[in-house]
Each structure stands twice: as structure tokens, then as C-alpha cells.
Chain A
Amino acid sequence: DAMVIQNPRYQVTQFGKPVTLSCSQTLNHNVMYWYQQKSSQAPKLLFHYYDKDFNNEADTPDNFQSRRPNTSFCFLDIRSPGLGDAAMYLCATSLPGPNTEQFFGPGTRLTVL
């Protein structure tokens, strides 16, 4: 089945220790998104790619970076995680267009000690 895969599902890191979360997709979608979701809140968009074009949200901290080496893979790098970065991180993909569905991965739950 075509899908969005996120690894790992659970990630524990130490305060200030860089961490990378990965996302892969078999849907061949042009657009990939990274969301941060804290408990009982809506997902908050961090950035998205349309092919290689990177679009950063204005309020995304510089501590968050992303790479998309090819269509299938996208990475979220947190350079110096703080306690406030503990959250669920969701990757999603879609075809271009305002009326298209976003397909979400299962998420990576990040714990910062």
C-alpha cells in the first residue's frame, strides 16, 4: 500500500542534543509537510516543500531545519532541542492543489530529557 512512513515512532533525546526525524513516502507526491503537534492542540505547520522549493513558516524557530534530498524522503533536524520541543511531529504529503487531501504519517513522538 502507498503510504507515509515516519521513523522512529518514538525518539528520546537530551536537552541540546541534535536529533533528526525522517519521513518517507511511496505516494510520489510533490508536496511534503512537517507539523508539530503538542498535546490536545491542532497540528502546527513548521514548513513544507513543493518539490525542491522550501517554504518556511514565519514563526518556525531557527532551531528547526529540514532537508529533502529527493521526492521520497524528507528530514526534520532539531539542532538544539529544548524542553518545549517535546511534541508529536507529523509528516504529511499531498499532490499540488488547494482541494487535495493531505496524507499523514503516524508521527514521531519526541521526548526531551
Chain B
Amino acid sequence: AQSVTQLGSHVSVSEGALVLLRCNYSSSVPPYLFWYVQYPNQGLQLLLKYTTGATLVKGINGFEAEFKKSETSFHLTKPSAHMSDAAEYFCAVTDLPSGTYKYIFGTGTRLKVLA
């Protein structure tokens, strides 16, 4: 079965510091991986996704993630945190064995940016 693990339910960084949010997946087949961001009282918005091809994926708002098959990881990074990055971040993988297009979400990481 496929699964997603996000290490660290809460992460705090100083403004201007590196952001690193961790996501590890378990999949018996090549995965399709996504990072979403959710601001308070809003829906989820796609930051970036990995399907095939280049393993370093660039997304919106200066975020990027690298697919590392050997480590079964898809960590999200941003070189310099901004106050507006404070939000909840979810990693997700498509549930391929189910034969549908639904996601399996990680439990989320709440990012706090300190002034």
C-alpha cells in the first residue's frame, strides 16, 4: 500500500532562513507526488508536483522539491522564508493501486515564520 509520512507536525524558521519540510513516501510503483499549501480558512493550493522526468521540481512562490528514489523522499525547500509562507503544508501521493485518482495525504506540517 502507498503511504506518505511528513516528519515534524510543526516547523519554525526565522524570516530569511532556509525552509525544509520533509516528506517520505512508500510506493510499490513509481509515484506521483504533490505538495499543497493551505492558508487559514482556505482550500489547498498546489505548490508543485512530480510525475516523471526531472527530479528537481520548481513550484510557485520560490519553492522546490527534489524526488529522491533511493531515499523515497520528496522534501520541500525554499532558500529564504518569508512571513507570508506561514501556512500548513501537505505532501500527497496518488493512490495508484486503488485504480482511482485519489490522493493519500500526509498529516501536514504547520510552518511558522519568526520575525
Contacts and interface: CB of A to CB of B under 8 A. Distances in A.
Do A and B associate with each other? yes
Given A104-B43, A104-B45, A109-B41, A42 B32 contact: no
A101 B46 CA distance: 7
Contact of B43 (A4, A42, A99): A4
Given A42-B108, A101-B49, A48 B43 contact: no
A31 B102 CA distance: 10
**Of A50, A88, A102, which is in contact with the most chain B CB atoms at under 10 Å from its CB?**
A102
Interface string A33-50: 100000011110100101
Interface stretch (A13-21, A75-83, A89-97): A89-97
Given A98-B94, A101-B49, A43 B101 contact: no
B34 A101 contact: yes
A104 B45 CA distance: 7
Contacts of A31: 101
Interface residues of B, number: 26
B41 A45 contact: no
Interface of B: 9, 32, 34, 36, 41-46, 49, 51-52, 88, 90, 94, 96, 100-103, 105-108, 110
Contact of B49 (A4, A42, A99): A99
B34 A48 contact: no
Interface of A: 4, 31, 33, 40-43, 45, 48, 50, 55, 88, 90, 92, 94, 96-107, 109
A41 B43 contact: no
A97 B105 CA distance: 17
B101 A98 contact: yes
B41 A107 contact: yes
B102 A104 contact: no
Contact of B100 (A43, A55, A88): A55
Given A31-B101, A55-B100, A99-B51, A90 B94 contact: no
Contact of B96 (A33, A48, A98): A98
A109 B40 CA distance: 12
B93 to A, nearest CB: 10
